[in-house]
């Protein structure tokens, strides 16, 4: 019989949730500022005493009964008053369904014996009857060497409106299905100067959603390209043909989160996106965000 050790070596996850909530699960994080698009106070998800192992990666579970809302969630480490954000603006955006939830994974090192907290901003003021639950799962380090990756950079986030960068799905100049839009047409998205990564990116995670209720059943595919300095065209395609499958009734893509993908994007690079659609051009706005692990 094989030997199956139950601890260490990255073979388990450690659940963190200091304030269970029967309605939505996870720690209930309120928008205590009472102002839309404004970050709330922090809520502790895992205390320092509970965080005995640290982690070589972190799973962030989000679940809500908010209905139509857009929210950004920050994950931070450190004691009260000295929190340091390690994952900014995790995007959560159910558009039609009252109850929604998903999990995102970020391969960064979490030190032991430090509290882990969350805060949010949203398009509506979160109340005791409309809740957003946040919980975390740390991938146990065990005897594995810790990764040097310790921070995530959000790319394409629009803090003033609590949303990602909007992209057209397909090229408005094309009527033929399945043709890729050109990088230089307005249907592509350039994550420009303000979104150039400050640190080199070693892994990339992508999120796709929508703020558009004119949902249609269709298949789409997305390319991600990068360039050293160009604001017009990428030097090469980094990730090719990511499949986006959408339905008229659900409020998200079947796979809203992609990655992490190993890569190397130098600091200061320009990042591009283009899309093809089986309809040629369906005039539905998608929302895209990228998360660079450094």
- DSSP label at 258? E
- What's the chain's average pLDDT? 75
User: What pLDDT shows up at residue 80?
Assistant: 94
Most confident listed range (16-30, 119-133, 197-211): 197-211
Average pLDDT over residues 265-272: 88
User: In the structure encoding, which two tokens stand for residue 172, read together?
Assistant: 């408005």
Average pLDDT over residues 99-119: 87
Residue 18 neighbours by CB under 8 Å, 6+ apart: 27, 44, 45, 46, 47, 50
Equal CATH topology for 13-139 and 152-293: yes
DSSP 121-151: EESS--BTTB-EEEEEEEEP-TTSPPPS---
Residue 158 neighbours by CB under 8 Å, 6+ apart: 164, 165
Locate tokens 């079947």: which residue? 254
Determine which of 33-37, 108-112, 179-183 has the lowest per-residue pLDDT on average: 179-183
Which CATH code of 2.60.120, 2.60.40, 1.10.10, 3.30.410 fits the domain covering 152-293?
2.60.120
User: 195 phi and psi, to 5 degrees?
Assistant: -105, 5
- Residues 138 and 55: beta-carbon distance below 8 Å: yes
Is the pLDDT score of 289 beyond 50? yes
Residue 71 to residue 287: CA distance in whole angstroms? 13
User: In the structure encoding, which two tokens stand for residue 15, read together?
Assistant: 């659940």
- Domain definitions of the chain by residue range: 13-139, 152-293
Quickly name the fold that domain 13-139 has: Jelly Rolls (2.60.120)
List, for residues 60-105, the tens digit of each pLDDT value.
Answer: 888 776 666 788 999 999 999 999 999 999 998 765 555 667 788 9
- Residues 167 and 272: beta-carbon distance below 8 Å: no
Is the pLDDT score of 285 beyond 70? no
User: What pLDDT shows up at residue 276?
Assistant: 74
Determine which of 88-92, 126-130, 137-141, 261-265 has the lowest per-residue pLDDT on average: 126-130
- Residues 106 and 202: beta-carbon distance below 8 Å: no
List, for residues 195-247, the tens digit of each pLDDT value.
Answer: 788 899 999 999 887 655 555 666 777 888 888 876 677 788 888 888 877 66
User: What pLDDT shows up at residue 139?
Assistant: 79
Locate tokens 């908010």: which residue? 66
Is the pLDDT score of 185 beyond 50? no
Distance (Å) of CA 189 to CA 183, 223, 256, 274: 8, 11, 18, 7
User: What pLDDT shows up at residue 197?
Assistant: 85
Residue 224 to residue 226: CA distance in whole angstroms? 7
């Amino acid at each position: 019989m094989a030997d199956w050790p139950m601890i260490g070596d990255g073979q388990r996850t450690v659940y963190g949730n200091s304030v269970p909530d029967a309605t939505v699960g996870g720690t209930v994080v309120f928008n205590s500022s009472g102002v839309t698009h404004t970050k709330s106070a922090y809520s502790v998800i895992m205390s320092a005493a509970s965080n005995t192992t640290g982690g070589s990666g972190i799973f962030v579970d989000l679940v809500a009964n908010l209905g139509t809302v857009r929210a950004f969630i920050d994950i931070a480490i450190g004691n009260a008053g000295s929190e340091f954000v390690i994952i900014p603006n995790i995007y959560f955006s159910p558009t039609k369904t009252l109850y929604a939830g998903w999990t995102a994974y970020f391969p960064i090192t979490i030190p032991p014996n430090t509290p882990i907290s969350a805060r949010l901003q949203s398009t509506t003021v979160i109340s005791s009857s409309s809740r957003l639950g946040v919980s975390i799962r740390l991938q146990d380090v065990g005897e594995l060497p810790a990764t040097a990756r310790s921070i995530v950079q959000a790319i394409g986030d629009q803090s003033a409106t609590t949303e990602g960068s909007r992209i057209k799905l397909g090229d408005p100049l094309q009527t033929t299905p399945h043709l890729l839009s050109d990088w230089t047409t307005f249907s592509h998205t350039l994550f420009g100067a303000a979104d150039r990564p400050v640190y080199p990116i070693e892994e990339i995670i992508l999120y796709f959603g929508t703020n558009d209720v004119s949902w249609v059943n269709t298949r789409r595919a997305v390319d991600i390209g990068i360039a050293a300095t160009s604001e017009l065209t990428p030097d090469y395609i980094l990730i090719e043909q990511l499949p986006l499958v959408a339905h008229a009734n659900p409020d998200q893509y079947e796979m809203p989160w992609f990655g992490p993908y190993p890569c190397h994007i130098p600091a200061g690079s320009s990042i591009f996106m283009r899309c093809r659609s089986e309809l040629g051009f369906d005039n539905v706005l998608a929302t895209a965000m990228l998360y660079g692990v450094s």
